[in-house]
């Protein structure tokens, strides 16, 4: 399955290409004081480790710009300076060596100031994001439109884009973030029709998880599904590492980025479960995430339906009576005591990544599949066959054999 993505102009934030068919990039923003160089760098490294391709840092005072001068050369990912109100801080951030700028058209409104920044950015080949935010929309536009409606957000972006274009500046990204998901979606749809620049997607002020995650996924996911969006940010009221991780996961789950981390699928559990699925899944997730294995792993509560339902997973474990059936691509390769399920899963997952599918299937324990099949039948007898497979098969055979 692939998405037809909207064609956009490509620009570069340092070495990271944005737009023009480049992989959709993940952004996040530090929450430290920028003047605290070591604290900010530690967070930048944590964000990069969690999947951020680009990190934005506020440049709200001279000391912040000075901090950027030390942070940028030591950062593992390109840095974008976030600028509000004071255009001179944008010039200072450029001098500090940042790889991009975000300007808020709602609070830097003077044409000559915007053009001065654009001219300097153009000389250094730096991109600028026109970052419109419903919460800080230009007062005149707010009055004209009555409220922060999608048309007002897009108009704000277009005014700023025109200023940039007038000085020949085209390395532009645009965002029209709204805290209301439906308004956000509509704003980006309008914007996508109006410009050919790459778009930076986000639901602003989404709040703490889980609501903040749900809003972000609803807004960003809907647009990505329509082929709109070149770079994304989850704006969560949480540790920004959560933002980076969530952004990265959304792209991986949509098949828009190669899997870099774990994809744990687990059944929701039900009366058939032979183990505490939540406990096993949580422990498995912690262990597998720590091992940083880029695979899909299934944790299933029973062997009756588990291996079949999770046969697409790279590896998985399902609970039998006191034992775990460890399977690779649906084929049972080991049967282990219940207490060792997580340990065995981790061990086998690591070997699968190191040695590959064929090697691990070749190492399947003798009789594992037979033992598993016998235990499964035993369990069906004890629990009953919820799917009534035998009865249904007999009825189908009756019908097929009838006159």
Q: How far is the CB of 377 from ligand SF4 (least distance, A)?
A: 15
| Alpha-carbon separation of residue 130 from 6, 51, 205, 310, 330 (angstroms) | 19, 24, 18, 44, 49
Determine the interface stretch with ligand SF4 among 17-25, 130-138, 182-190, 304-312 (rule: CB under 6 A): 304-312
Residue 168, phi-psi category: left (phi > 0), alpha (psi -120 to 50), beta (remainder):
left
Three-state secondary-structure class, residue 355: helix
Q: Which positions ≥6 away from 325 have C-beta within 8 Å?
A: 303, 306, 307, 317, 318, 319, 332, 334, 335, 368, 372, 375, 376
Instruction: Give the shortest CB-86-to-ligand SF4 separation in angstroms.
Output: 56
**Residue showing the smallest CB distance to ligand SF4 in the complex:** 301
Of 268, 358, 400, 403, the one binding ligand SF4 (CB under 6 A) is 268
* Closest CB 395 distance from ligand SF4, rounded Å: 22
Alpha carbon distance 215, 237 (integer Å): 12
Among 301, 316, 320, 324, binds ligand SF4 (CB under 6 A): 301
In this structure, the chain runs to a length of 403
Told to check if 270 binds ligand SF4 by CB under 6 A, we report yes
Give the interface segment with ligand SF4, choosing from 157-165, 167-175, 183-191, 305-313 (CB under 6 A). Answer: 305-313
- The residue among 187 and 305 lying less far from ligand SF4, judged by its C-beta, is 305
Asked if 306 touches ligand SF4 (CB under 6 A), the answer is yes
Q: Which is nearer to ligand SF4, 7 or 387 (CB)?
A: 387
Residue ranges in 22-41 that form contacts with ligand SF4 under rule CB under 6 A: none
Nearer to ligand SF4, 5 or 272 (CB): 272
Q: Determine, following the binding rule CB under 6 A, whether residue 273 of this chain makes contact with ligand SF4.
A: yes
Q: How far is the CB of 319 from ligand SF4 (least distance, A)?
A: 8
DSSP string, 218-287: HHHHHHHHTT--SEEE--BSS-HHHHHHHHHHHHHHTTSS---S-EEEE----TT-SS-HHHHHHHHHHH
**Least spacing, CB of residue 254 vs ligand SF4, in Å:** 25
CB-based contact 193:223 (threshold 8 Å): no
- CA-based angle 104:73:27, to the nearest 5? 40
The residues of the shown chain that bind ligand SF4, judged by CB under 6 A, are 267-270, 272-273, 300-302, 304-306, 309
């Amino acid at each position: 399955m692939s998405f037809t993505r909207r064609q956009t102009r490509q620009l570069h934030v340092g070495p990271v290409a944005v737009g023009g068919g480049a992989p959709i990039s993940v952004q996040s923003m530090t929450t430290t004081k920028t003047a605290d160089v070591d604290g900010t760098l530690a967070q930048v490294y944590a964000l990069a480790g969690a999947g951020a391709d680009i990190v934005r840092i506020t440049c709200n005072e001279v000391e912040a710009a000075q901090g950027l001068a030390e942070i940028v050369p030591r950062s593992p990912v390109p840095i974008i300076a976030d600028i509000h109100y004071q255009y001179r801080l944008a010039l200072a951030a450029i001098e500090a060596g940042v790889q991009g700028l975000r300007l808020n058209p709602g609070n830097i409104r003077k044409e000559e100031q915007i053009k001065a920044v654009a001219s300097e950015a153009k000389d250094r080949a730096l991109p600028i994001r026109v970052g419109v935010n419903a919460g800080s929309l230009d007062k005149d536009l707010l009055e004209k439109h009555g409220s922060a409606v999608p048309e007002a957000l897009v108009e704000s972006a277009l005014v700023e884009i025109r200023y940039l274009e007038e000085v020949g500046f085209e390395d532009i990204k645009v965002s029209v973030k709204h805290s209301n998901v439906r308004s956000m979606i509509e704003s980006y749809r309008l914007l996508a029709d109006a410009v050919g620049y790459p778009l930076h997607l986000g639901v602003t002020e989404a709040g703490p998880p889980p609501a903040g995650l749900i809003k972000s996924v609803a807004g960003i996911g809907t647009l990505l599904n329509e082929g709109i969006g070149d770079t994304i940010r989850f704006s969560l009221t949480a540790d920004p590492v959560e933002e980076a991780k969530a952004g990265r996961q959304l792209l991986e789950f949509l098949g828009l980025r190669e899997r870099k981390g774990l994809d744990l699928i687990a059944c929701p559990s039900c009366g058939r479960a032979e183990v505490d699925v939540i406990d096993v899944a949580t422990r498995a997730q912690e262990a597998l995430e720590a091992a940083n294995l880029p695979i899909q792993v299934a944790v299933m509560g029973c062997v009756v339906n588990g291996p079949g339902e999770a046969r697409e997973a790279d590896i998985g474990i399902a609970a039998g009576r006191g034992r775990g059936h460890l399977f690779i691509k649906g084929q049972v390769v080991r049967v282990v005591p219940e207490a060792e399920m997580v340990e065995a899963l981790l061990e086998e997952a690591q070997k699968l990544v190191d040695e590959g599918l064929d090697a691990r299937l070749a190492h399947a324990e003798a009789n594992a599949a037979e033992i598993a099949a016998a235990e499964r039948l035993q369990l069906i007898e004890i629990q009953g066959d919820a799917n009534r497979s035998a009865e249904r098969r007999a009825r189908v055979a009756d019908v097929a054999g009838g006159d």
